[in-house]
Structure 1
Amino acid sequence: MHTILGHHHISMLTKDAKINNHFYQKVLGLRRVKKTVNQDDPSMYHLFYGDLTGSAGTELSFFEMPIVGNTIRGTNAITQIGLLVPSYESLIYWKERFETLEVTHGEITTYAGRDALHFEDSEGLRMVLLNNNGEAVPKKWSAWEDSIIEQQHRILGMGAVEITVRHLDRLGKTLTEMFGYTEVARSDQEAIYQSVAGQSFGEIVIKQLDGPREKPGRGSIHHLAIRVKNEDELRNWETVVKERGFHTSGIVNRFYFQSLYFRESNGILFEIATDGPGFTVDSSIEALGKELDLPPFLEERRAEIEANLIPLD
């Protein structure tokens, strides 16, 4: 049986890669695991942050678009990213850290049934730290020991991802009937779905909201990628998605993984991505994220591409 193994990565827009680079490394303590470019438009950076190797389920990815404006919030958009931390004490640690570093944040509260601390990055991207409470995480996740964050409070990986749409049940049926997610909670305007029973690392929170569609800008979320084991499984999902009536991109070779893209009926962009080969396909673990890595089909344009990018470090 083919199953969705959880989140793979999530991709956002940033106006300034330097500011972004500082926040995710020096404030959140994540590792920059890949410095590359948008394969469809190599004039812009594509940065990935995560654990030691950028394991599937830990990856936060950003496209730099210097001309992008502000996000005008609305519906039919991915609206918040959950990040798992080890304990309630970790939330206290992060609240104090955010206060010291003047990061926009709220009080410790609850979200999706977990202790939670909402905060925003320097461009208004909405995130929430969630208490993992000692629960299991995917075996492939590997801690980066050089993080500036104390070991007992480091971010583990992605938790519940929030999607706000006009039609909750349409997206809910896509998740349950097509991908095999389970609905685990529901209120009048909100429902929670899990791809792996009882686990937050594959959780999606759907909120129903009428009104104008969100206008993307800096700090907005472009798409959510969900995780499959290999290309054979991806080809199976390509068939399933097409049979459901959705138009797909066809399988795209992203070098670090294979991908398939489609929009569900509210217009939310999903990517289905394979575990491998991963970011070490063109880099040692020690060297991850330090130099500009390019997929082979862009290597002959390296001089041109590097000339158009502002150095980050």
Structure 2
Amino acid sequence: MATILGHHHISMLTKNAQENNTFYNKLLGMRRVKVTVNQDDPSMYHLFYGDNKGRPGTELSFFEMPMAANTRRGTNAITRIGLFVRGESSLSYWQKRFDEYSVEYSDVTNYGGRKSLLFEDGDGLRLALQVVDDEAVSRFESWDGSDVPEEYQIMSMGTVEMTVRRIEKMERTLTTLFDYVKVSGDENKRLYRPSGSDGHSEILVKFKDGDRERPGRGSVHHLAINVENEETLQYWDEKVTERGFRSTGVVDRHFFKSLYFRESNGIMFEIATNGPGLVDTTPGIEAGEKLDLPPFMEADRAEIEAKLSPLDMLGDNNK
């Protein structure tokens, strides 16, 4: 059986790319590894942040939508994103850093079975810094250009929370389609991880009835999960279709190949390949320093750039 390797990336909506860059690149100290555009709507930026190499499992991505209204929170949505940090001393560091930058945060709490700080970005996206042990270090490459010391840097995506009306439907998708294992839970809250995982890339599913979330700034568009290569992706395209879901089929995003579908609660999953990757994909473009377009969009570069708002480029990312 083709194995789900874990999280690949997660994609959100932001109202302002420059403010988003300040928060994630400067305040949180994550490397901006790719500045590109939404390939389905090139009038909007698509920004990626991650570790030094932008490896799958470390990537947060954002679509800029300047006209986006506030999210009206509800159910059938991805409702919080965990970010792994190393050791409990990291939480003390981040409390001080959040105080310095006037970011509100919770008391230390338990989230996804780990000691955590809950907070939000400027768009209202709900996040959590989660303490993880050194097992995660081997999959993380620190970024020398970060304002955050190496020992406190965000290492990867952590627990992703989904809030749904039909929790049994989500459980069947995760366990019988993707072969995730239920780690813990009851009728209202359940934690899952890929069967081949060593304790990371977990999905926390919560039951909540009520109105569906109305997406806007700070909402999550989709979660991408990771597979090895295009051959494996073709396998999952067949499995998703056999399950009765409508797949987009395999789409070539240049930086990776993927497919998309919505499960029974309406939450969108992307299944994405390991490579080619976000860093060193385009010769002559240093990661995150210049607008990077896939080859099929290069002929329209001047028109695309004219429609985009100003954003720090050409080395500002790495100061």
State TM-score, norm by structure 1: 0.97
Task: Tell me the equivalent position of 1:40.
Answer: 40
Task: Tell me the equivalent position of 2:56.
Answer: 56
Q: Aligned with 1:136: secondary structure?
A: helix
- Once the two structures are overlaid, the 10-residue window that deviates more, 97-106 or 123-132, is 97-106
Task: Tell me the equivalent position of 1:303.
Answer: 302
Aligned 8 A contact 2:246 2:261 in 1: yes
Matched, 1:4 2:4: yes
Aligned 8 A contact 1:33 1:54 in 2: yes
The one-letter amino acid of 2:82's match is: G
Matched, 1:168 2:173: no
Q: Aligned with 1:259: secondary structure?
A: strand
Aligned 8 A contact 1:29 1:148 in 2: yes
Whole-angstrom CA distance in 1 between matches of 2:148 and 2:66: 29
Deviations 1:80-119 (A, max 9, x none): 0000000111011111111111112111111111111101
1:134 is displaced (CA, Å) by 2.1
Alignment of 1:226-305 (within 5 A): 226-279=225-278, 280-283=280-283, 287-305=286-304
Task: Tell me the equivalent position of 2:17.
Answer: 17
Deviations 1:219-251 (A, max 9, x none): 000000000000000000001111111010010
1:283 is displaced (CA, Å) by 4.4
The one-letter amino acid of 1:71's match is: T
Q: Which runs of 5+ in 2 are unaligned?
A: 313-319
Alignment of 1:119-158 (within 5 A): 119-136=119-136, 139=139, 141-158=140-157
State TM-score, norm by structure 2: 0.95
Taking only the aligned residue pairs, the percentage that are identical comes to 55
Whole-angstrom CA distance in 1 between matches of 2:67 and 2:204: 31
Q: Which runs of 5+ in 1 are unaligned?
A: none
The one-letter amino acid of 2:47's match is: L
1:136 is displaced (CA, Å) by 3.5
Whole-angstrom CA distance in 2 between matches of 1:218 and 1:297: 29
Task: Tell me the equivalent position of 2:73.
Answer: 73
The one-letter amino acid of 2:265's match is: N
Q: Aligned with 2:171: secondary structure?
A: helix
Whole-angstrom CA distance in 2 between matches of 1:114 and 1:182: 18
Aligned 8 A contact 2:136 2:155 in 1: no
Deviations 1:9-62 (A, max 9, x none): 000000111100100011100000000000001011000000112100011000
Aligned residue-pair number: 311
Aligned 8 A contact 1:51 1:144 in 2: yes
Aligned 8 A contact 2:5 2:225 in 1: yes
Q: Aligned with 1:75: secondary structure?
A: coil
Q: Segments of 4+ in structure 1 off by > 6 A? A: none
Whole-angstrom CA distance in 2 between matches of 1:81 and 1:197: 21
Root-mean-square deviation over aligned CA pairs: 1.3
